[in-house]
Amino acid sequence: MARLFGTDGVRGLANGDLTPELAVSVAVAAARVLIESDRSHQPLAIVGRDPRASGEMLEAAVVAGLTSAGANVVRVGVLPTPAVAYLVGQANADLGVMLSASHNPMPDNGIKLFAAGGHKLPDELEQRIEAAIADGHGLIGRPTGAGIGRVHDLLDGGEHYVKHLVASVPHSLAGIKVVVDCANGAASEVGPVAYQEAGAEVIAIHAQPDGLNINDNCGSTHLEAVRAAVLAEGAALGLAHDGDADRCLAVTASGEVVDGDQIMAILALAMRDAGTLTGDTLVATVMSNLGLRLAMKQAGIRLLETKVGDRYVLEELQNGKLALGGEQSGHIVMPAYATTGDGVLTGLHLMARMAETGQSLADLAAVVHKLPQELINVRVADRQAGAAAPAVQTAVAQAERELGETGRVLLRPSGTEQLVRVMVEAATQEQARAVAERIADEVRTASPA
C-alpha cells in the first residue's frame, strides 16, 4: 500500500480520491489505534474544519467513524488548524481531527490528525493507522449499545482560542492599522477579532466564506489584494493567512512583501531581547534564504536547519525544547503558545514588536538582506541517481567554490516526484540563474527523463 499520509496528513480531491469512505476508515483506524494505546478510558476527539463545502460531508464521515469506534466527539465547527490543536490540549482529548487542505484550491480537502496535547502524530502512529486501514482493522468488533461514542458541539471554542492568543501579546497594538486578508478561510471570524481585542485597528478583506471561495485569488498565496488594500487604506502593514490560518505572510506600508524568513528574524530578535529565545537558537529549514543565516549570525543567534516541512521544524523544537522555528512560507511555530504553526499568533507578535520598538515593519524586516535565489526543478528518470551522479557533484563543488560565502547551492531529490530540485543563492540574480542552469544541465545529462 502506498503511503496514505503526506507531510501534513491525508490530502486529495474531495469526493475524488479523498472520499467519505476513506474518511470513515481513517477515523476508525485512528480511534482504534488510540484505544489500543490506552484502554483506561473512552477516547475523546475534537473535530474542526475550514469553511470549504466538502468539509461538511467529510466532517459527517469522520464523526461517524470515530463514534462507531467508541470515541466521544466534540465538534468545534469552523476554526483555524492551530485552534483545533489548542482545544485538543485544553480538553485533554486523545485525538484532534482538522478537515482542511490549507492553501490548496477549494475542490481539495484533507484530514490532519493531532495526538494528545495537540501535537502532530509521530511517524510510528501514522504507520500503525495506515496498517490498520490496509488490513481492515477496526471493521470488526465495534462497540454496540452504550459503547458507541456520543457527539457534542462546542459553540464557544473560538472565544477560548482568541482569549488565549490575546493573552500572549506582550504589548498593546493600539495605534497600528492593519489590513488582514483572511483568504475566505478558517480565520475569517476569529482572526480580525483577535487583532481588534489586542488593540489594533483592523480592516478585514476576504472574510466572507461561502464554502466555495476559500483561497480564491486571495490569502497568503495571492498577495496582490492585501498589497493594494494596504496602499489604499494607508495601513501600517498587511497580513495574509491561508485557508486554515496556520500561515502568515506580511506586506509593509509601501506594499513590499515580508516573508517567513524575515518574520522569523524579527521575532527571534524580539525574543532574544526579552530573554525568551531558548539557547538563543532559531530553527528553520534548508530552504530559508542565506540572508536569514547571515542576519542571525551577526545577531549572535544560532540557526539550526531541518529538512523541508514544518513537521521537521516541530520535531527539532520539541527535541531541543526550543522557542521559535518556521519556514519561509510563513509557517511560524512558537511552542510557548502553540503546538503547530499559527498564523494569527504570528501576526499578533509581529505587530507587538512594531509597538514595542516604534519601528515600521519595513525597518524591522531590513535586518535580513535577502540574496537573489533561483530554483530549477529538473525532471529526471531517477531522482536519486540524478542527484548523486559524480558529474553533478563535481558541478556543485565547483559552484560552491565560485560562490564562497556570498552564496550557496542546495541540491535535493523531490520526496514525491521524479524531480531534482536545484536551488542557488548568489550576489546577483544573474549569477544565481547561471549557476543553477549549469548544475541543472548536468542533472539532465546524468538522468535523462
Kindly state the percentage of the chain with pLDDT values over 70: 97
Query: Is 102 among the annotated ligand-binding positions?
Result: yes
List CB contacts of 39: < 8 A, sequence separation 6 or more: none
Q: Please check whether residue 28 lies inside any domain of the structure.
A: yes
Distance CA(372)–CA(350), nearest Å, equals 24
Whether residue 388 sits in one domain with residue 279: no
Overall average pLDDT of the 392-413 stretch: 92
CA angle 410, 414, 420 (to 5 degrees): 60
Overall average pLDDT of the 42-55 stretch: 96
Q: 137 lies in which domain range?
A: 10-155
Task: Kindly state the DSSP code that residue 75 receives in the 8-state scheme.
Answer: E
Q: Is the pLDDT of residue 140 over 70?
A: no
Whether residue 108 sits in one domain with residue 189: no
Whether residue 76 sits in one domain with residue 142: yes
Grid cell in block for residue 449: 527523463
Overall average pLDDT of the 274-296 stretch: 95
Overall average pLDDT of the 419-430 stretch: 94
Q: Minimum mean pLDDT among 40-54, 170-184, 239-253: which range?
A: 40-54
Examine the fold and report which residue of 306, 340, 365 is the final residue of a domain before the chain moves on: 365
Q: Please check whether residue 4 lies inside any domain of the structure.
A: no
102 is catalytic: yes
Average pLDDT, the chain: 93
Which CATH number belongs to the domain containing residue 394 in this structure?
A: 3.30.310.50
Whether residue 418 sits in one domain with residue 321: no
pLDDT confidence band for 56 (50 / 70 / 90): very high
Query: Is 246 among the annotated ligand-binding positions?
Result: yes
Q: Is the pLDDT of residue 1 over 60?
A: no
Write the pLDDT tens digit of every residue in 242-260. Answer: 999 999 999 999 999 999 9
Whether residue 340 sits in one domain with residue 194: yes
Q: Minimum mean pLDDT among 160-164, 308-312, 393-397: which range?
A: 308-312
Whether residue 165 sits in one domain with residue 145: no
User: Among 102, 220, 329, 447, which one carries the catalytic annotation?
Assistant: 102
Q: Is the pLDDT of residue 363 over 60?
A: yes
Whether residue 348 sits in one domain with residue 243: yes
Q: Please check whether residue 203 lies inside any domain of the structure.
A: yes
Overall average pLDDT of the 332-345 stretch: 97
Write the pLDDT tens digit of every residue in 116-129. Answer: 999 988 788 888 89
Greatest mean pLDDT range, 21-35, 55-69, 399-413? 55-69
Q: Is the pLDDT of residue 360 over 90?
A: yes
Q: Give the strand order in the sheet containing 373-379.
A: 373-379, 419-425, 408-413
Overall average pLDDT of the 294-307 stretch: 95
List CB contacts of 135: < 8 A, sequence separation 6 or more: none
pLDDT confidence band for 135 (50 / 70 / 90): confident
Examine the fold and report which residue of 307, 342, 365 is the final residue of a domain before the chain moves on: 365
